[in-house]
Structure 1
């Protein structure tokens, strides 16, 4: 059976609370698939230097890939109906940038 995509593991852990009275949640760890090599995309975004910091580039790349893969898997969901054309334009802009 052929692989359908790359597999990743992500761990989200709260390191510091802004408001001390907020609930402290346990870390979340999830595994997910993506058709792209997210590490290669992160490196491309860092080299393009489009954000104020390298950290912003990394966060943007990870967030974008998580979001876009969910949107692809749920392409018939009306939630994305109005956003899909704008997202397509955003992706063209990102890919065309040097």
Structure 2
């Protein structure tokens, strides 16, 4: 009687292990497709965020340029921008000139 219970338990364990192995194998076979689908969906949702961030950065940059222009105009001057030389380096200079 005890040997029969042990055999039944062993059969049950073999069935559980084999069914779990089969599930794992099927999931592993689908993994590349699922990853590709998830990457595609992630890119689609991220595009809106990048568009909003780029639009806000553009609006901010235009706002700073407009403020610089108006500041120079209020002094009766025009905005000027100097680029440093490629050989010596240096800093960019933004100022108002007449």
Greater relative CO (CA pairs within 8 A, separation 6+): 1
TM band (smaller chain): under 0.3
TM-score (norm 2): 0.25
- Greater helix share, structure number: 2
TM-score (norm 1): 0.25
- Greater strand share, structure number: 1
